[in-house]
Structure 1
Amino acid sequence: MEFLNRSHETQILTPLLSRKKPSFIVIYGRRRCGKTTLIHQVLKKGDVFYQSDRQESAVQREQLVKTVGEVLEIPYEAIFRSWEALLMDLNRMLSHGQTLVLDEFPYILKNEPELPSILQRLIDGKKLTYNLIVCGSSQNSMSEMVRSSQEPLYGRADAILKIMPLAPGWILDGLNLAAEEGIREFSIWGGVPRYWELRSDYKSLESALSHLVFRRDSILQDEPMRLLHDNLRSAIQPYTILTMIGQGVHRPSEIAGRLGKGLSGLADSFQKLIELGFIRREIPFGESIRSSKRTVYKIDDPFMAFYFRFVLPNKQRIDMGMGDRVLKQVLLHLDEFVASEWEHLCRTALPFLSIQGMDWDLASRWWGAGLNAQEIEIDGVAQTLDKKHILFAEAKWSLKPDPNGALAQLEKNIDNCKKFGSHKVIKVLFTRREASGSGYVEQFTPRDVLQVLK
């Protein structure tokens, strides 16, 4: 698969690696998001890329020395008893402007916890003549290492890049898809480039899911647990929370009740999962995140949402070799799952769409008891930045949308929901296929949504 996007990151890295004085750069992000690929895009011939592993420090230093010799094509067989001695000696081996990359840096730190203090001395003393990039998939440890004021490397990095999953629109380029199929595929794989690369090896979505997810020991069978172990000392409680959310338990009080714990006992796990991008907190439009008592949690990562909805509940059958039977049942319910992600993508896209030539704020759902005491939900609500206009949106994933019926239902819900002041109301429809014949001011399709989410 071709290298996609990352123009923002390359525009930061390229000048830093080309300037006269050496740079210290920290790159981190979840596994499989393309950190290594990005780094190789900006490295030049003669730069050294070292992939750390879990071996003892002495072995790691020996392997780095070997790697340097191989890259530079010169004999380099010295034995170093400390990382400081090795990093200082590399001033002799690497010329000005060359770069050393230490990938999976947390593996080194596990056996050499004093290395950040060593780097602090070398950086503050301007003793390194080459660029140094440290990279890792453990988001918590990498971020804390340079962002916590208590850590030796705080304030020392010339750039700190958190590599995020790719934006939804790039999946059309990555997998050569039409827009409707792009929504369907993104709802499963999310924006993780490695997942797209794995998916591209198969002719159909069904075949890809069969080989990558629904077979015993398939490459993505236990992906969520691996991601949690990358970032958390204990994955038991966060994994349990994800399991419950995936099975439809969204209110924090209900999650706490089922676990037999108080909400305070789950607060750290909720916060960590939010920071890692695995879940999101939702409140109804117009309510304060500090005071709202109607918080719900949703899985924010599409692949994790798919996994905890369809894979984990059927894991025993998959392990018994019945994965293809499970998959046939999953495919029958896939549109229902995709519809939920479609709604979320529509809300995300709203501020970036051209609607009546106005600037729109972030959109949220609204749900709750209407004026007639009946429960209602509106897929998307947003205000203009000047607070003069309000937008109500309906998102439909039906193959044959009924725009007039959807409009009638939306207008009924608008009349029945909480009043949001004297705003001019604008109604918007998102549909899987183009629809005509309704009173909506604006209508959008998957192509419109993916074009702005890129």
Structure 2
Amino acid sequence: MKPAHVFDRDREWAALKDFAEAPAAEMRLAVVSGRRRQGKTFLLQALADVCGGFYFVAVESTSVDALRQFGTAVAAYLGVPGTLAFANWDEAITHLLDHCSDRLIVLDEFPYLMKADPSIPSILQREIDARLAHRGTGSRVRLVLAGSAMSVMGKLLAGQAPLRGRASLDLVVQPFDHRVARRFWGIEDPRLALQLNAIVGGTPAYRTGFVDHESPGDDLDDWVVRRVLSSATPLFREARYLLTNEMEIRDEALYHAVLGAIAAGNNTRGGIAGHMERKATDIAHPLAVLEDCQLIRKEIDPVRKRSLYRVAEPLVTFYEAIMRPAWSLLERGWADRVWQSARPRFTSQVVGPHFEHVCREFALAHGWNGEFAAEVAAGIAPGGGRGQNIEVDVIALAPQDNHTRRLLSVGEAKWSEVMHVGHLKRLEQARDQLHTRGLDTRDTVLALYSGAGFDAALTDAAARDPRILLVDLPMLYESA
């Protein structure tokens, strides 16, 4: 049973427990990854405690020092006085696997071990293969390799990597979604919950030591000034550390420039490059690395089939849009002044885009006339001579089949604007233009998402037509 102190994470816990308790009489490997602060260590320590397993977390150090720390940890676990002096990692790993043949073994922050000795994955490959070749000899090791450097962890099982094809579990611990995050922070007001989510996202650690367990209460402005923009608080530099933690990132200024361009609303490769006054080819590698690190996500416009880039971590968006332009003022302690001038930008560049993302998440989880979307993204409804191109915030498509692909829903999202019939007319035009592009729009639902509400005329129209859906903040926070 999952320990009571582990909040949510039912799916992750079930997967890890099944892995650890699998009856197969052979060695098995799991890879667990996720950006820092998502609770991987918390989860894996709880698993090791429940299963009586060996848990070791690596730190950045030399190979000799890391080997010494490892020897001390192994000795303590096996009840050996003092430390075990291993000559090398080959000897250390073999010793651990031999003496824990029926145990769970967790090696956390595994990228630091790889940095200390790049041969460790090959050593593990040899040991796994040797034990699999002699099934029934008693080796039931359950080995978990975990880490936060996403660009490194993502390559453990890829291409020609030594461990490719040897893992029976590849688990990514994601941030909480907006619904779970609201419960975790204990916030009743959905408007406050979404604004907070636009700042700190669903990262569990930001709720605890980073803010001393303090929720915003009724005054978000005061909380932001004290807990986020104050140079004396842990959250102040956290967004910058997220880049520092990734081993493949060398030129931080370049990567921050890319993130800043995306946070400013430039979502295409050409737009990002233009904002940075660089060639599009110059940013291909930074975009790929940031995507591997899960700091940005790439979405595909389902109509034009072009790539759209968005910052995946809300705290990074907040930093790039609000903090980085005023960094010197914030370091001088002028958080109040900065926040007062940045409030309109917070609404337009931080909360607005995040609200659109949450609406797309809603569309993905929602059943449209009993059917779930296979693809949800923002896109363009091309005019094609019949009208102007229309930017659409939410396009929900049915699974592809041999017939004309069905458009389940087309939607528009407005965070701070009361929506009216004019918005409905715009959606009708977008639907019609998408129909001319070959989509089946006979049962398309026109969805209007608003953080500020709907006027009476639009509410009446929705009451008369079941193909019009009005989604307010309480509905966005209903359980899927």
Q: TM bucket by the smaller chain?
A: 0.7 to 0.9
8 Å CA contact 1:23–1:130 kept in 2: the answer is yes
| Higher relative contact order, structure no. (Cα contacts within 8 Å, ≥ 6 residues apart) | 1
Percent identity, please: 24
8 Å CA contact 1:353–1:452 kept in 2: the answer is no
Q: What's the CA shift for 1:309?
A: 0.7
Higher deviation after alignment, 378-387 or 20-29: 378-387
Among 258, 263, 268, the alignment partner of 2:280 is 263
Q: Distance in 1 between matches of 2:249 and 2:419?
A: 50
Among 460, 463, 473, the alignment partner of 1:438 is 460
Structure 2: where are the runs of 5+ without partners? Answer: 463-467
Q: What's the CA shift for 1:262?
A: 2.8
Tell me what 1:292 maps to: none
Q: Summarize the Cα distance change of 1:352–1:73 in structure 2 as closer, same or farther, 3 Å threshold.
A: same
Tell me what 1:347 maps to: 360
Higher deviation after alignment, 97-106 or 71-80: 71-80
Tell me what 2:465 maps to: none
Among 99, 107, 111, the alignment partner of 1:106 is 111
Higher deviation after alignment, 361-370 or 31-40: 361-370
Among 286, 304, 316, the alignment partner of 2:328 is 316
Higher deviation after alignment, 429-438 or 129-138: 429-438
8 Å CA contact 1:99–1:131 kept in 2: the answer is yes
8 Å CA contact 2:259–2:320 kept in 1: the answer is yes
Where 1:147 maps in the other structure, the secondary structure is: coil
Among 23, 27, 32, the alignment partner of 1:27 is 32
Structure 1: where are the runs of 5+ without partners? Answer: 290-294
Where 1:439 maps in the other structure, the secondary structure is: helix
Alignment of 1:142-291 (within 5 A): 142-148=153-159, 150-178=160-188, 179-197=190-208, 198-199=210-211, 201-204=213-216, 205-216=220-231, 218-231=233-246, 232-236=248-252, 237-257=254-274, 259-282=276-299, 284-289=301-306
Q: Distance in 2 between matches of 1:412 and 1:275?
A: 37
8 Å CA contact 1:101–1:135 kept in 2: the answer is yes
Q: Summarize the Cα distance change of 1:235–1:438 in structure 2 as closer, same or farther, 3 Å threshold.
A: farther
Tell me what 1:17 maps to: 20
8 Å CA contact 2:66–2:116 kept in 1: the answer is no
Where 1:202 maps in the other structure, the secondary structure is: coil
For the pair 1:80 / 2:97, whether they are aligned, the reply is no
Q: Distance in 1 between matches of 2:140 and 2:396?
A: 52
8 Å CA contact 1:180–1:432 kept in 2: the answer is yes
Higher deviation after alignment, 430-439 or 61-70: 430-439
- Aligned pair count reads 445
Q: Summarize the Cα distance change of 1:65–1:328 in structure 2 as closer, same or farther, 3 Å threshold.
A: same
Q: Summarize the Cα distance change of 1:25–1:388 in structure 2 as closer, same or farther, 3 Å threshold.
A: closer
* C-alpha RMSD over aligned residues: 3.0
Alignment of 1:291-370 (within 5 A): 295-336=307-348, 337-367=350-380, 370=383
8 Å CA contact 1:46–1:72 kept in 2: the answer is no
8 Å CA contact 2:447–2:470 kept in 1: the answer is yes
Q: Distance in 2 between matches of 1:240 and 1:230?
A: 17
TM-score (norm 2): 0.82
Among 415, 433, 438, the alignment partner of 1:397 is 415
Where 1:438 maps in the other structure, the secondary structure is: helix
TM-score (norm 1): 0.87
Q: What's the CA shift for 1:434?
A: 5.8
Q: Summarize the Cα distance change of 1:176–1:81 in structure 2 as closer, same or farther, 3 Å threshold.
A: same
